[in-house]
Amino acid sequence: MLQTFFNAEIISKAWPIILAGLGNTVLLSVVVVPLGLLGGLALAMLASVRKPWVRWPLMAWVDFFRAFPPLVLLIFLYAGLPFAGLELGGFACVCIAFFLNTGAYYGEILRAGIDSVPAGQAEAARSTGLGRFQTMLYVVLPQAVRNVLPDLLSNTLEVVKLTSLGSVVAMPELLFQARQAQSLTYSPTPIVVAAIIYFVLLWPLVRLLSRLENRAQTALA
Amino acid sequence: MSNWDRFVETFFNAKIMAKYLPDIAYGMLVTVELAALVIVTGIALGLALALLRSLGFRPVNWLIIFVVDLFRALPPLVIIVFIYFALPAVDVAPSGFVSTWLSLMLVLTAFSEEIFWAGITSIPRGQWEAARSTGLSYGQTLVSVVLPQALRLTIPPLTNRTIAITKGTALGTVVAVSEILGMASSAVSNSYNPSPLTLGAGAYLILFFPMVVFGRWLETRMAWKH
């Protein structure tokens, strides 16, 4: 069993390949998380204009991309757009798909956060002479982010996990590299190693989230 | 032919769409089947684990927490790839459908256990004590007093999480499950036209858009009144 799933010889052979994949996964996450946050922030700021003709289309946009499996979006960009003469490459496709998909999720979370800040805060800030933008940046957003921090972190965990979809469009990230190593070595060990790396990488975040969620619960009770 | 016509001809080609409609419809059926299996087994297992955890056997609880953490931390695609490509090395060879089902089930089990557990612990101790002191047994207290209150709290987050995980059925295409995306992708390579993909996208929207809107409605309806 150990010989099959955790073979030391194969680990040492596959290690450089897997390590390169890990590097790319980290790099991809570092690009894609801020991208999604940016998209979400834009959506949430727009939604803070409390007008129905702004909110409804935004809600439709958010729900549209929440209803769409990210992999479908990714395949559409990667395999569909070339038919329109637009060949973007795996990395660009992943970026666009994540911007649209995770942006919608982040947007929904940040909107809830902004809604949770009492209107009096913004009014007080405006009356001291701060501009609309300054009020948002210095008064509303810091409180909004604090109020929804567990949800933001939880979504970020999902985004990092989602980078494994890159393997489908030949991005050489952790899962893709592990599959490469698997077919080179005819052994499932590289996949097990990749899974362990994901777990070790993300477990602290999962633990932290569990504690934050529990704390929120006791605060309610 | 104008650019617009060419665009429509490429992405909304009626002839090709008509030809592959039965394929996509079949894919929809497989997606619904897979989704239903994942939802029923995942939520049932999650609830079972949360109930087991409420009994308070330390070693058992540690094991539950570890398993839950494990399947919250691992990307679903990694679990699918492990089951489908790694397990055959020890002569266990589940089909793509079973691999996808098992992996999404495990992920949903982990997330729903967390949500159920949070719901159960949110019920104040006094409720337990009061119910027990009126002569209800542990089981009766759980079923008639604690769970009805706990479940109400869990429904909105559970709905949203279930939708997010169920969308993962599209991952099955990586292990050759003939669900919507898989059918659409092979239709694209057979017809050299992306219209089946448009059709597939439409199929996903038909299935999931109402669920997302329903989830949003639940969330606002059952939100805590501050």
Mean pLDDT along residues A47-52: 82
Planar angle of CA B192, B198, B204, nearest 5 degrees: 135
Q: Which residues contact B22 (CB under 8 A, 6 or more apart)?
A: none
Considering the domain boundaries, does residue B5 fall inside one? no
For chain A, which domains are there?
2-220 (1.10.3720.10)
CATH of the domain at B116: 1.10.3720.10
CA dist A162 and A156 (Å) reads: 10
Q: What percent of chain A has pLDDT over 70?
A: 97
Q: B16-67: per-residue pLDDT in tens?
A: 899 999 999 999 999 999 999 999 999 999 999 999 998 889 999 999 999 9
* Ordered DSSP codes for B141-184: IIIIIIHHHHHHHHHHHHHHHHHHHHGGGGGGGGGT--SHHHHH
Answer whether residue B198 shows pLDDT above 70: yes
Domain count, chain B: 1
* pLDDT (0 to 100) of residue A4: 82
Q: Nearest CA of chain A to the CA of B65: how many Å?
A: 10
Mean pLDDT along residues A107-133: 92
Mean pLDDT along residues A14-24: 93
Please state, rounded to an integer, the average pLDDT across all residues of chain B: 91
Paired tokens of B73: 């931390």
Of B217, B154, B17, B208, give the one whose Cα is nearest residue A65: B208
Q: What percent of chain B has pLDDT over 70?
A: 98
CA dist B170 and B181 (Å) reads: 6
Q: Is B13 helix (H, G, I), strand (E, B) or coil?
A: coil
Q: Nearest CA of chain A to the CA of B39: how many Å?
A: 16
| ipTM summary value | 0.89
Q: A121-139: per-residue pLDDT in tens?
A: 999 999 999 998 899 999 9
What are the start-end ranges of the H helices in chain A?
Answer: 2-5, 8-47, 52-67, 70-75, 90-116, 119-127, 132-134, 141-147, 149-162, 174-185, 189-220
Q: B106-160: per-residue pLDDT in tens?
A: 999 999 999 999 999 888 989 989 999 999 998 899 889 999 988 888 888 899 8
**Contact list, B156 vs chain A (CB under 8 Å):** none
Phi and psi at residue B91, in whole multiples of 5°? 65, 25
Phi and psi at residue A74, in whole multiples of 5°? -60, -45
Answer whether residue B225 shows pLDDT above 50: no
Considering the domain boundaries, does residue B85 fall inside one? yes
A171 touches chain B (CB under 8 A): no
Are B114 and A80 inside 8 Å of each other by CB? no
Considering the domain boundaries, does residue B46 fall inside one? yes
Considering the domain boundaries, does residue B8 fall inside one? no
Count CB pairs under 8 A between chains A and B: 141
CB A32 within 8 A of CB A102: yes
- Residue of A3, A75, A201 for testing the chain B interface, max B β-carbons within 10 Å: A75
Answer whether residue A217 shows pLDDT above 70: no
CB B78 within 8 A of CB A190: no
* pLDDT (0 to 100) of residue A100: 94
Considering the domain boundaries, does residue B110 fall inside one? yes
Considering the domain boundaries, does residue B4 fall inside one? no
**Contact list, A68 vs chain B (CB under 8 Å):** 167, 201, 204-205, 208
* Burial category of A150 from C-beta neighbours within 10 Å (exposed 0-12, middle 13-18, buried 19 and up): middle
CB A40 within 8 A of CB A106: yes
Q: Which domain holds residue B58?
A: 16-221
**Contact list, A220 vs chain B (CB under 8 Å):** 122, 224
Of A188, A209, A144, give the one whose Cα is nearest residue B118: A209
Answer whether residue B224 shows pLDDT above 60: no
The model's confidence at residue B226, banded by pLDDT at 50, 70 and 90, is very low
pTM of the model as a whole = 0.90
Mean pLDDT along residues B91-100: 93
Radius of gyration of chain B (CA): 22
Answer whether residue A38 shows pLDDT above 70: yes
Are A217 and B74 inside 8 Å of each other by CB? no
Return left, alpha or beta for A154; rule: phi > 0 is left, psi -120 to 50 is alpha, else beta. alpha
Planar angle of CA A167, B190, A70, nearest 5 degrees: 35
The model's confidence at residue A159, banded by pLDDT at 50, 70 and 90, is very high
Out of A160-174, B62-76, B176-190, B210-224, pick the least confident.
B210-224
Considering the domain boundaries, does residue B194 fall inside one? yes
Answer whether residue A83 shows pLDDT above 90: no
The alpha carbon torsion through B75, A35, A98, A64 (nearest 10 deg) reads 120
Nearest residue of A to residue B195, measured between CA atoms: A80
CA dist A191 and A193 (Å) reads: 5
* pLDDT (0 to 100) of residue A1: 78
Considering the domain boundaries, does residue B11 fall inside one? no
CB B207 within 8 A of CB B28: yes
